[in-house]
Chains A and B, each alone.
Chain A
């Protein structure tokens, strides 16, 4: 694979495609679920995860290396996040009531929500890698080439890292946005 920003861009585009076919009332439900996931992860995990992990490892008599711990944390955070996001798409979904706008307006709104969801999901997954020194870059193919993306980061990637959602948005805002979405859903 190429640089990480290309992978990031690909994931964002995927969410744009999904938003174009599903429409923004449905996608707003997913946005709500993403806000909930980010609030949970940043507010609770950020404060208590390390405090809980250490005794758990002691209890199980596991003493991982520092790199092993980074792998575990990045994987755990990513999996929890993806599971919550997936729940927004699976089964009975959290859809906003109301009539969807058609034509160019609808297209632009679908694009907007796709870009927002893509930025939130791809950006958060990237942030989990960045926060734990890119454990996924350790995975290489039989020819020694990286399986997912190349390191070190390009100048563009270093700029993008600064505007990843979890890097710039305070945890309390995720909570506020979640409340706003729930209120808007109930009001309708």
Chain B
């Protein structure tokens, strides 16, 4: 696919995401969108091992070890009558160590991604319940910001990194989409071009005045 069409698609997909989230923000209000933004940022940090992801994996592994230790008789050994039994404790530690960590190094990315998705879904569910009133335009802008954050989080999939191996059918669909979007741009600019060339540039201010007059006349008193 030519790079220009690819860029066009990317720009329009981004725009669509921004538009949809801005609309949701407008309908749901500012504070719900603020909550969503916080959850999105936390979710993104959790999905990255170098940010919060590493800490989450370590915490899960520690919890898992603790459970294995208890199941291996560690607690009974600690609080046995007549004081802790060294042999029983050693056996519990050995049983725990033999199982290994729940999440091994390099295996946690999938889990972190799912955690991020769960947080996002929870944020969207809770945000809809917030009824505190605020400016709808602020909600719209915050919604657009959320759209931008989501587009950033999922940018590998917007920027051409395939989720599935490419197939002939996928490539065909994208070509058709690119052609349609290019045609939409042409539909918008063709009347302007026509005005500029066939009628003359002076016609543009006239069109602006006509549009303004139509809009002012359309306000019912």
Please tell me which stretch of B78-86, B95-103, B190-198 contacts chain A, meaning at least 4 of its Cβ atoms lie within 8 angstroms of it: B190-198
Which residues of chain B have C-beta atoms less than 8 A from A141's C-beta? none
What 1/0 mask marks residues of chain B from 188 to 221 whose CB sits below 8 Å from any chain A CB? 1100110111000110110011011011101111
Interface status of B45 (Cβ within 8 A of chain A): no
Within the complex, the shortest CB–CB distance from B33 to chain A, in Å, comes to 14
Docked-complex contact A10 and B137, CB < 8 angstroms: no
Sorting the interface of chain B by its residue count into under 10, 10 to 19, 20 to 34 or 35 or more gives: 35 or more
Docked-complex contact A180 and B18, CB < 8 angstroms: no
Please tell me which stretch of B4-12, B53-61, B120-128, B167-175 contacts chain A, meaning at least 4 of its Cβ atoms lie within 8 angstroms of it: B4-12
Residue in contact with B19 in the complex, picked from A14, A28, A105, CB distance below 8 Å: A14
What 1/0 mask marks residues of chain A from 49 to 64 whose CB sits below 8 Å from any chain B CB? 0000000000000000
**Minimal Cβ-Cβ distance residue in A for B12:** A10
Interface status of A46 (Cβ within 8 A of chain B): no
Docked-complex contact A169 and B189, CB < 8 angstroms: no
Known: A24-B218, A159-B196, A173-B205. A14 touches B15 (CB 8 A): yes
Which residues of chain B have C-beta atoms less than 8 A from A137's C-beta? none
Known: A2-B7, A101-B220. A17 touches B19 (CB 8 A): yes
Interface status of B140 (Cβ within 8 A of chain A): yes
Q: How far is the CA of A97 from the CA of B195 in the complex (A)?
A: 33
Known: A112-B214, A162-B201. A98 touches B219 (CB 8 A): yes
Interface status of B93 (Cβ within 8 A of chain A): no
Known: A14-B18, A169-B208. A28 touches B215 (CB 8 A): yes
Residues on A facing B (Cβ under 8 Å): 1-3, 5-7, 9-10, 12-14, 17-18, 21-22, 24-25, 28, 31, 89-90, 93, 96-101, 105, 109, 112-113, 116, 156, 159-160, 162-163, 165, 168-170, 173, 177, 180-181, 184, 188
